[in-house]
Structure 1
């Protein structure tokens, strides 16, 4: 079994409860179990995790996601600590620890700053009991809050690290294709992302930001940079090891020949 460098992107929609505005700890526990299994199989794992805003809503007294940017940033400032504490509490049970990295897109646009980010990431990965967990620094930056739910950030980190695989976990089992008969099928493989954009539906949860189009644009950036991608359901993280091994249910985006 060959070791792979894997980026896992967790969106807000799979980290929050479906019935109220707070972190779904049972779901997060399952995601951590899947991370631990990948580590057991000797893979290198980096997580790009949304969820800071949703984690801060309850503490800030909100029952739904606010609309103004300053309040969103305040929720993220409160929620980021709660989110990392929850990750750490579950990872500790597997002998693992969190290495938190908060980034802005400006950190990756400057070559000098990007190299510093990469150096820190590589140093964290030398500690095999540490899982780097990356989020946009929402308390000072707003791009992901407005547009992408960390989809774009996950692709940029994958390119920086030269990952072997980027897996975007979302609330649906993959890219869906509605047939004339009314049935819906999962598209198993997409060789040209541009040709698949018409299948994307901008359906978002009340606590999520990015839709399928955002994910496909991130995938497009990654595959053009030589990194294959998968979009799959984050509600079934037990199949993560299978996805890495070439099976499992999801949509695969191979690197163009």
Structure 2
């Protein structure tokens, strides 16, 4: 298996317990194990991780996700350090360490700031024991808080880095096609995102933001930037190595040939 540049996007829905407002540490441990396996196989791995708001809910005495932006930003301020501490505690067991980057979309829109971000990311990746983990700087920016659960941010970082693949891990096993007779199947491959936008189900969990429509728009951006994509289940991260080699269960979005 030759080393590839892999960007993994973890949404709030796979990082948060389904029964209460707190981080699902067992799930996060599984995700870290999958990251460590990819590193062991010689891949470069960058993570775009949501979950700061959800991680701060318990400390802020919330049982469900608040709706006003100022409170969401306050939860993120509390939760971001907790989230990174949890990542670090699990990565340390594999001899790995976190390199935290907090970005806003303005950082990527400015050529100078985007180049600085790119330089920092590349410098971190020179050390094989560092896993860059990126989140929106929710205390000063609100785009992902309101709309995308870091979907758009992940596509922009993937394009900036020129990743070999962007894998969006979500709570479902891929893009689902629900037919009139009620049967459900996973769309294995999509060559034109516009043709499947009608399949997007916008239902979201109690603690997540971005629905499938948000992910498909992020895929469009990444494809336009030259990065193929996969949407797959974050509840089965053990299949990541297989997904990268063409196996596994998910929806693939290849570049136009």
TM-score (norm 2): 0.99
Matched, 1:145 2:145: yes
Give SS of 1:203's match: coil
- Ranges in structure 1 where 5+ consecutive residues have no aligned partner: none
Q: After TM superposition, give the deviation of residue 182 of structure 1 in Å.
A: 1.0
RMSD of aligned residue pairs (Cα, Å):
0.5
Q: After TM superposition, give the deviation of residue 180 of structure 1 in Å.
A: 2.5
Q: 1:224, 1:256 within 8 Å by CA — same for their partners in 2? A: no
TM alignment of 1:176-187, pairs within 5 A: 176-187=176-187
Q: Which residue of 2 aligns with 1:82?
A: 82
Give SS of 2:79's match: helix
Q: Which residue of 2 aligns with 1:196?
A: 196
Q: Which residue of 2 aligns with 1:9?
A: 9
TM-score (norm 1): 0.99
- Aligned partners of 2:90, 2:250: CA distance in 1, in Å? 26
Give SS of 1:144's match: helix
- Aligned partners of 1:90, 1:123: CA distance in 2, in Å? 23
Q: Which residue of 1 aligns with 2:211?
A: 211
Q: After TM superposition, give the deviation of residue 181 of structure 1 in Å.
A: 2.2
- Aligned partners of 1:101, 1:182: CA distance in 2, in Å? 43
- Ranges in structure 2 where 5+ consecutive residues have no aligned partner: none
Q: Which residue of 1 aligns with 2:27?
A: 27
Give SS of 2:85's match: helix
- The runs of at least 4 consecutive aligned structure 1 residues that moved more than 4 Å come to none
Q: After TM superposition, give the deviation of residue 256 of structure 1 in Å.
A: 1.0
Give SS of 1:196's match: helix
- Aligned partners of 1:117, 1:224: CA distance in 2, in Å? 21
Q: After TM superposition, give the deviation of residue 226 of structure 1 in Å.
A: 1.3
Q: 1:73, 1:139 within 8 Å by CA — same for their partners in 2? A: yes
- Aligned partners of 2:181, 2:141: CA distance in 1, in Å? 45
Q: Which residue of 2 aligns with 1:106?
A: 106
- Aligned partners of 1:250, 1:119: CA distance in 2, in Å? 32
Q: Which residue of 2 aligns with 1:155?
A: 155
